[in-house]
Structure 1
Amino acid sequence: MKNKVGIYGIVLLLLVGCKVMTPEEPIPTLLVQKENRPKKAWKLVWQDEFETKELDTTKWTRIPPNNADWGNYMTSDDQCYEITDGLMYLKGIKNNDTLKDPRPYLTGGIYTKGKLAFQYGKIEIRAKLESAQGAWPAIWMLSEQKKYGDYPRNGEIDIMEHLNYDSIIYQTTHSYYTLELKQKENPPYYTTVPCDTEQFNTFGLEWYPDRLVYTLNDKESYTYPRMEGVDPSQWPFDQPFYLLIDQQLGGSWVGEVDPKDLPVQMIIDWVKLYQ
């Protein structure tokens, strides 16, 4: 009898001490490249060419709405998503059913949050950008974990942003150092690059332990280096980041939306990650 009581007691302690796991928080695939690895040729480690009729949900999630300028009109509504002939269409549209959703516009976007994040490597996205007043397509990256605290402590990497009918794109590095400490010239935190938006272009980033190298159509356009002797918040880019691709509408930077210009879309051909 004493032995049985002892066994039951151990089982009870194990049950109480165990945390019940739920599937709500997926564990992402983390592709972390060693900092001091020998220089080698890039190797393709992850890609999506959108050859299936439906979005691959093992790789992507439709971005939900949020309170940031860029996220005001994000939706999972099928009207803002289409995959046809190996192309992914992310759309910004006028909302014709404000009883179902009161927002005047709806926008589509996808991200790898919770599914894939990487640290160091080369990422390229081939895409075509359509123009409209208030259109703000973007390809960018955020940290998967909060290593240094809340935004902007962990930084933001903007591989491509396009505004309205501009003939340029913006490539920008954000952090607490640039946004809160206002250190925008030591080193310069962004550049603009001429871009023919009538064509498909390849937007890219090469990420090293000591620098971010932005590219357009395989040509280097801007480098953001890791600095010595400055506030440590200048370089939060030593942790895994996930990828966001979205057709945003409206906001304090891009300005008001002209509904007569809608719909507008960003067309994604493929996404490739190398390490």
Structure 2
Amino acid sequence: MKKYPYLIIALVIFITGCKESPSELLDSYIYVQKEGRVKEDWQVVWQDDFNNSELDTSKWTKIPPNQADWGKHMTNDPQCYGLSDGKLYLKGIVNPDTVNDPRPFLTGGVYTKGKFAFQYGKIEIHAKLECAQGAWPAMWMLAEQKKYGKYPRNGEIDIMEHLNFDEIIYQTTHSYYTLGLKEKENPPHHGTAKVDINQFNTYGLEWYPDKLVFTLNGKETFRYPRVEGVDPSQWPYDQPFYVLIDQQLGGSWVGKVKPEDLPVQMIVDWVKVYQ
């Protein structure tokens, strides 16, 4: 009789192992959701709980500096990164060495470019945001393969942006349709949601072939639908996107940085992607 429990366990393991994957895997790192899964349960296909002592470089790369408002202070300086107690700390600081690097501020951010991308599914990021004048933490997505050409032709999905000491977050889509053709109301391309900035919150996006559904703590906050009969550039969201999470500082939207408010940080508990 003792052998039967082991047979049952073996059977459960076998059935679990045979469960059909929700994804088609391209180039070993791009997860494309299989068709016909709209009514299926979500399955986790990729995640990071930040339980290691160092950043998992098989999943993430520190974002290099660039000339955009959001990226001009990005750095790989260890002072802008921390990992402890199962959390990733992305920091914005006053630059302590402007002799070797003349930038007044330094910021930390990570992305999955070239290491993980997905097309359709759900992403959730559990994190806490700190506030400062000029702080602009963001969680967002860009196209991995640039199917339609140069930015903004491939679109941008901003899961969460927060400014200064606001009690709201912004959730937005950008594309040639919204930026080049200025079509920002057909349909509306952004929404806001009230947030308790003193708590950890779960910022999310459910991505379908015909709509983007933005969420906060599991509840829908804004929806961007695919619209028929308009310029095709309205929907560049039919290709794989990668993930960016960064503690930005300064820029034309958020305003000037107040050095006395620094350092400031975004604390990321976990990231999960489902299909």
So what's the TM-score if we normalise by structure 1? 0.89
Structure 1: segments with no counterpart, 5+ residues: 1-26
Question: C-alpha separation between the residues in 1 aligned to 2:62 and 2:148?
Answer: 26
Per the TM alignment, residue 39 of structure 1 is displaced from its structure 2 partner at its CA by: 1.7
SS at structure 2 position matched to 1:270: strand
- Which residue number in structure 1 is paired with residue 58 of structure 2? 58
What amino acid is the match of 1:103? R
In structure 2, the partner of 1:69 is 69
| 1:233 is aligned to 2:233 | yes
Where does structure 2 lack aligned partners over 5 or more consecutive residues? Answer: 1-26
CA distance in 2, matches of 1:140, 1:53: 25
- 2:215 is the alignment partner of 1:203: no
Question: Do the aligned partners of 1:35 and 1:209 also contact (CA within 8 Å) in 2?
Answer: no
State the partner residue of 1:267. Answer: 267
1:41 aligns with 2:41: yes
Give the drift of 1:96: 1.1
Number of residue pairs matched by the alignment: 249
CA contact (8 A) 1:211 1:223 kept: yes
For 2:77 and 2:45, locate their aligned partners in 1 and report how far apart those are by CA, in whole Å. Answer: 31
Distance 2:82 2:58 in 1: 17
- The 5-angstrom pairing of residues 93-172 of structure 1 reads 93-172=93-172
Q: Distance in 2 between matches of 1:71 and 1:186?
A: 30
Instruction: Return the TM-score normalized by structure 2.
Output: 0.89
**Residue matched to 1:192:** 192
**Identity percentage over the alignment?**
73
Are 1:177 and 2:174 matched, yes or no?
no
> Following the alignment from structure 2 to structure 1, what is the Cα–Cα distance between the partners of residues 249 and 28?
29
Q: Secondary structure at the match of 1:75?
A: coil
Letter in 1 for 2:223: T
The RMSD of aligned alpha carbons is 0.8
CA drift of 1:34 comes to 2.6
Cα separation, 2, equivalents of 1:114 and 1:85: 27
Query: Which residue identity lines up with residue 134 of structure 1 in the other structure?
Result: G
**How far 1:36 sits from its partner (Å)?**
3.6
CA distance, structure 1, for counterparts of residue 38 and residue 170 of structure 2: 32
Deviation of 1:38 after TM superposition, in Å, equals 5.3
CA distance in 1, matches of 2:68, 2:151: 12
Partner of 1:12: none
AA aligned to 2:192 is T
Letter in 2 for 1:84: S
Letter in 2 for 1:54: E
Runs of 4+ in 1 over 3 A off after TM superposition: 35-38
Cα offset, 1:99, TM superposition: 1.3
The Cα shift of 1:35 comes to 3.7
- Rounded to whole Å, the distance in 1 between the matches of 2:185 and 2:30 is 32
Within 2, Cα distance between the matches of 1:38 and 1:185? 27
Q: Deviations over 1:184-226 (max 9, x none)?
A: 1100000111011100000000000000000000000011000
Q: Secondary structure at the match of 1:203?
A: strand
Corresponding residue of 1:17: none
The separation in 1 between residues aligned to 2:149 and 2:256, in whole angstroms, is 32
In structure 2, the residue matched to 1:4 is none
2:95 maps to 1:89:
no
Match of 2:12 in 1: none
Once the two structures are superposed, what CA deviation does each residue of 1:95-142 show, in whole Å capped at 9, x if it has no partner? Answer: 011112110000000000000000000000000000000000000000
1:7 aligns to what? none
Answer yes or no: is 1:243 the counterpart of 2:243.
yes
